[in-house]
Structure 1
Amino acid sequence: MARLHLPGPLSAGLLDLPRDIVRHVQALRLRVGDDLTLFDGRGGEWQGHLVSPPPAARVELLRHVAVERELPWAVTLAVGMPANERMDWLVEKATELGAAQVQPLMTVRSVLRLDGERAARRAAHWQAVAQAACEQCGRNRLPQIAMPTRLDTWLASLPPATLSGSGAAGRCMLAAPGEGQALPFAAWAAGLASSQNLLALSGPEGGLSADEIALAQRAGFVAVSLGPRVLRAETAPLALLAALAAQVPPH
C-alpha cells in the first residue's frame, strides 16, 4: 500500500491532493479505488482510498490509526558531513533506523562546507530525503534535519541540562576510533528513561581532530568503541544508531 506524507493537519473526509503529491500518485500508477496511507507527522496515520484520478486527484480519508514506530529515545545524530551523495544516503538510513534529528556539522577535516543559501538548500534537500524515507519505512513522524553548522558552534549551543550527568553511562556518545570504551548496549539502554534525549557525535572523512575530540569530551561526551575496524564517515553514526535500535523489542 502506498504511503504519502502531507503537511496536514489531516482529518476524515475528502481531500484534494496538492500538485507535488499528485505527481507522486501518477508515478505510482495508482487507480481509483486503490488504498492509501497518509500521515502528517503529528502522530499516527490515516487509511483511505483514491476516489478521483489525476490531474485533480482526490482521496477519502476513512479512519485514523494511532500507531507509532519511533525509538523510545530521541536520538540526535551529529555528523561531520561526508562528501557527495553519501550524506543523502546517511540521512535516508538514519531516518529508517529511527533518528529524531540529524545535525550536519563542519569540522577541521570536513570536505563539504556550506553556509548561507547553499546550506539552506542542502538542508531542505535532506529534509525531502528524510520524508521519502519515512514514507518507505513506516515512520509517522519526520526527523528534523538541522541547518549545517560548525562543530564548536553546535557544542556551545547545547544547553547544560542536555550534557549534565552524561558520565560513563550517559546520554552523549562520541564515536572515536581507537579511543573509546566498549559500551554494553543492552545494559546501558535498559537504564535509560523513555523519551530521553541522546546525542551521538561522529566525524567526517579522516575523523575528528584530537582538539575536536578533546572539545567534545570537555562538553560531556563519552568516547565509545564501535569495534576494531575503521568505519567510513557515513557508516560509523549508523552503526551506533543501529546498536541502539537493536535494543528495542519488536511490537
Structure 2
Amino acid sequence: MANLRFYTHSALTVGASVQLSESAAAHATRALRLNVGDDAILFNGDGFNYSCTLTEIKKSSVTAIVKSVTAVHNESPLNITLVQAISSGDRMDFTIQKAVELGVKNIQPISSKRSVVKLSGERAEKRTEHWQNIAFSACEQSGRAYVPRVLAPTSLEQWLSHHPAVNNTRILLNPIGAVRLTDIAKPTGEIQLLIGAEGGLSQEEIDLASAHHFQSIVLGPRILRTETAALTAIAAMQLAWGDF
C-alpha cells in the first residue's frame, strides 16, 4: 500500500474533523482510490503524525476525523541549511525534493551571477510557493513530520549581510584551498552549505563567501552537476556526522 500521509495547514487534535487540501483530496481519491472508512495519516509540521479515518468524500473535498497522535523521531541531528544557487528546468525541483528527503532543515535559494533563471516580484513568490509545496510532498513521502522552510530567493550578498558567521559551520564546494569533509570537526551548530548553479559560482562570489568564513571542500576528483553536488555533500555530511 502507498504511503498514505498528507500534509495539512490545519491545527490537529484528537477528535477534530479536518478537511484535506484540494491537492491532497485529489491525490487521495483519484490516485489512491481511497474510500470512506479508510485510514490515513495527517501532519502539519509540528513533529507529530495524526492517525485519521476518512469520514466524507465529495467531488472536490475529503474530510477526516483524527483518532490518535504519535510523536515522530526521525529528524537528522544535523541542522543543515542548503544555500542553493537557483538552477534551471527541473534541477531546482529535484534538488529541493531530495535535500528534504536527506534531512535538511532550511533551503535558501540564491540568485547567483551564473543562474540562468532570474526571479523577482510575483514570479519569485509563485516559484517559492511551488518549491515549498515540493518540500511538503517530500515530507509526505519520507515520513518527516517537521517541514523544512523554503525561503524567498535573495542574492548571496543580501543573505550574507543578514546572516553573520556566528556559531555555524560554513561549507563551500570549491577545489581551490579545499580540504576534505573529514578534515572538518563535527559541527555543533548550524551547517550552511553553499552550492552554485549550473556554471558554478563566479570567482567574485567564491571570494565573497570565503571572506565570510566559508571553508572550501572537495568531494573527489570529478566535476559534479549542481544537483549532484548538493545531494552528495548532504549525504556525505549525514554519513560523517549525522544518522546514516
Report the TM-score when normalising by structure 2: 0.91
Q: In the alignment, what sits opposite 1:44? A: 48
Within a 5 Å distance, the mapping from 1:146-157 to structure 2 comes to 146-157=151-162
Distance in 2, matches of 1:206 and 1:14, equals 50
1:26-105 to 2 correspondences below 5 Å: 26-27=29-30, 28-55=32-59, 56-105=61-110
Q: Secondary structure of 1:36's partner?
A: strand
Partners in 2 of 1:38 and 1:88 — Cα distance? 23
Alignment match, 2:113: 108
Within 5 A, what are the aligned runs for 1:199-210?
199-210=192-203
Equivalent in the alignment of 2:6: 4
Structural mapping, 1:148-227, within 5 Å: 148-162=153-167, 171-184=169-182, 188-189=185-186, 192-193=187-188, 196-227=189-220
Aligned-partner SS, 1:61: strand
Q: Secondary structure of the residue that 2:131 maps to in structure 1?
A: helix
Paired residue secondary structure (2:45): coil
Query: Of residues 24, 46, 62 in structure 1, which corresponds to 2:27?
Result: 24
Whole-angstrom distance in 2 between the partners of 1:57 and 1:188? 49
CA distance in 2, matches of 1:249, 1:79: 23
Q: CA deviation at 1:78?
A: 0.5
Amino acid of the structure 2 residue aligned with 1:144: R
Contact 1:41 1:140 in 2 (8 A): yes
Task: Report percent identity of matched pairs.
Answer: 36
**Greater displacement, 47-56 / 108-117:** 47-56
Q: Compute the RMSD of aligned alpha carbons.
A: 1.8
The one-letter code sitting in structure 1 at the alignment partner of 2:242 is V
> 1:62, 1:16 → 2: CA distance?
11
Partner of 1:167: none
Offset of residue 108 of structure 1: 1.7
Counterpart mapping for 1:123-134 below 5 A: 123-134=128-139
Q: In the alignment, is the contact (CA less than 8 A) between 1:26 and 1:54 conserved in 2? A: no
TM-score, normalising length: structure 1: 0.88
Q: Which amino acid aligns with 1:6?
A: T
Distance 1:19 1:92 in 2: 20
Gaps of 5+ in 1: 164-170
Q: Distance in 2 between matches of 1:215 and 1:5?
A: 38
The number of residues matched between the two structures is 238
SS in 2 for 1:102: strand
State the 1:179 CA deviation: 4.1
- 1:238 and 1:152 map into 2 onto residues whose CA distance is 24
The aligned amino acid for 1:203 is G
Q: 2:16 and 2:153 mapped to 1: Cα distance? A: 39
- For 1:222 and 1:130, how far apart are their aligned partners in 2? 28
Q: Does the CA contact (< 8 Å) of 1:22 and 1:54 recur in 2?
A: no
